[in-house]
Homo-oligomer: A and B are copies of this chain.
């Protein structure tokens, strides 16, 4: 009945409680209750005693039916699991993958209580962000797996760019930056035999409309949100559809054209190449000039003495020019 009330509100610009009650064969009190329920779900419904109810805006909540409605993909997002709150979309997707959920299944949540980032770090996940994990079962070898985060990064930038005129930049391997602050990130995890990929879970987190105050203090200086300094409102449902569409396209391109076009797009989208950087990881930090991305997504550094180093893991920081 709540859905019937919503349908009537969507059809009429303004409709009185009495008309709604008659139309649906329920009491005016019942109409009022359903309207209030819709308001709690995020629908903005104004009311005036003389004219009645008007639907001012629909919520940007991540409902499976809404996501599926205008989805243009063939595989990604054809199975949708939505959660209001989950510990981690990534872990939930892993459990589903283990149970055999098909290629392209997605898990979306409004917030995560234990969101995860790279290297087992936490990923702050307050309301207003987009948190999605995508189950992929690609036909690639284990050696090719390292390309996927860069494929996803290129797709993510293309999707976000449809929603904002702000310049987006990629930081190796797969952070999306706005004015040198992180606006989105990717976590690529996999399950495999030592010589055969079983499945991957691509976790994508986008700070869509998150105020600095909603983030932990230690990342406020290095993070940003699509809403910051923008007057446009980004609809998360449409952003999610665009991410799935662009990712599917990029994965198809990888299959048909190989990694080269993706590599080129990644390089175009990054301003890191030619700059002096430091890579911090488990081992000794390495300094050098970032000169290239290779055919498996590794970062190539030119270090002191012209020696080239291939970086496959770690965090990259811009530094001043190396001396000596």
Contacts and interface: CB of A to CB of B under 8 A. Distances in A.
Given A95-B98, A98-B94, A98-B95, A194 B198 contact: no
B98 A195 contact: no
Nearest to A117: B193
Most chain B C-beta atoms within 10 Å of own C-beta, residue among A146, A173, A193? A193
A119 B193 contact: yes
Interface in A188-206: 188-196, 198
Dominant secondary structure at the A interface: mixed
A196 B312 CA distance: 10
A144 B63 CA distance: 43
A73 B280 CA distance: 35
A129 interface: no
Interface string A83-105: 00000000100110010000000
Contacts of A120: 196, 198
Interface of A: 91, 94-95, 98, 118-120, 141, 145-146, 148-149, 173, 187-196, 198, 312-313
Contacts of A187: 193
A145 B189 contact: no
A189 B192 contact: yes
A187 to B, nearest CB: 7
7 contacts: A94-B191, A98-B98, A149-B194, A188-B194, A189-B194, A190-B192, A196-B313
